[in-house]
Amino acid sequence: MTGKFMLSRRDLLKTSAAGAALGLASAAFPIRAARAAAATVGFIYVGPKDDYGYNQAHAEGAASLKGIEGISVVEEENVPETVDVQKTMESMINLDGASLIFPTSFGYFDPHMLAMCAKFPDVQFRHCGGMWNKDKHPMNAGSYFGYIGMGQYLNGVVAGHTTKSKKLGFVAAKPIPQVLLNINSFLLGARSVDPAITCQVIFTGEWSLAVKEAEATNALIDQGADVVTCHVDSPKVVVETAAGRGAFICGYHANQSPLAPEKYLTGAEWNWAKVYKMFVDDLIAGKPLPNFTRGGLADGFVKMSPLGPAVGEAARKQFDAMLAEMMKGGFSVIKGPLKSNKGAVVATEGQAFVETAIELESMDYLVEGVVGSTA
């Protein structure tokens, strides 16, 4: 029975020769040439694109491009930060003819995106995060990010007015600079209301670990935290667990208010639609794409969720005033005199780091008032 399907050695040689010829042909005449008229933009997400979080924020940005004339969007979700993402990028370039790729997750950059940059010098790659460096990395790569720490500062202002126990909670994934800046900003925002407030942070060690995030939220609330926020890929579990325990929530990445309409105060959201539109406009106009793109609330890279019903009058007033102040630009969250929670001076009297300060992108400390450690 099985004999019918067995190949003779000669058949095998013939078949593989034909296969090799086909492979050569497709290398010589890339399929991409057939589609040169329209530009294809590729988006790669590390998780599901409707996760109420990081990936949803990017996918909403990608979705906003779909109406633009001459632009087609290809997406792939649940791509691990391994050699898998290289295969995804190769297939987007070779099969879909993508000329601009946004690998959106932190761990895609090194070595995966850099390897693809070297292999496809004609394709542009822009990575979400702060990793690109003019001296070290190729010019067809680049990075874009938003100063969302400002949003966490505003979260902190509202949280500071709302908390009764004077204890806030923060569920964080990994102690990288962007996460640390968010934690510090959240606490400093709250301390602008009442300098006695502290913030307890729990690191889960991974971007997406549903059970551990729920345990962390419970542990924070057990210790008396009554306003909780987070920096994990999908805040859904944290929001639902905290609301279930009766704590208030400040959102992150996207608007989570539908999950807990009564307990949701406000949230720091990405507005990637604005950023992706900028890149695509340059692409259509034939202009070189910027390699280093940053922006904050004033630039429309970041926005705040509408204030929830539990936000009081005083909080509303200070929130609006602070937001107006930030919209002018040049606001600094980290300003002296300020110490880390280990006692080291991070900013001396009169020293201030504005949101654009590049020093903030290598932050490695938690400020005084944050209970937690970076390792």
Residue ranges that bind another protein, judged by CB under 8 A: 47-48, 50-52, 78, 164-165, 200-205, 208-216, 218-224, 226, 234, 236-237, 240-241, 244-247, 259, 371-373, 375
Contacts of 187 (CB under 8 A, 6+ apart): 156, 168, 197, 198, 199, 367, 369, 370
Closest to another protein by CB, 144 vs 203, is 203
Cα 85 to chain centroid, rounded: 17
CB of 40 to another protein, least distance (A): 23
Distance CA 147, CA 360 (A): 10
As a whole number of Å, the end-to-end CA separation of the chain is 62
CB of 200 to another protein, least distance (A): 6
For residue 152, the Cα-to-chain-centroid distance in whole angstroms is 14
Q: Are 368 and 309 in contact (CB under 8 A)?
A: no
Instruction: Tell me the chain's radius of gyration from C-alpha atoms.
Output: 24
When the beta carbons of 126 and 236 are compared against another protein, the nearer one is: 236
Nearer to another protein, 52 or 186 (CB): 52
Amino acid identity, residue 55? N
How near is the Cβ of 306 to another protein at its closest, in Å?
Answer: 19
Q: Cβ of residue 212: shortest distance to another protein, in angstroms? A: 7
Q: What are phi and psi of 342, to 5 degrees?
A: -100, 0
CB of 372 to another protein, least distance (A): 5
Q: Are 316 and 332 in contact (CB under 8 A)?
A: no
Q: Which is nearer to another protein, 190 or 202 (CB)?
A: 202
Please list the helix, strand and coil fractions of the chain in percent, rounded to the nearest 5, in that order. Answer: 40, 20, 40
> In the complex with another protein, which residue's Cβ is closer, 197 or 283?
197
| φ, ψ (nearest 5 deg) of residue 29 | -120, 80
Three-state DSSP class for 108? helix
| Closest CB to another protein among residues 224, 300 | 224
Least distance (Å) between residue 371 CB and another protein: 6
Give the nearest distance from C-beta 164 to another protein in angstroms.
8
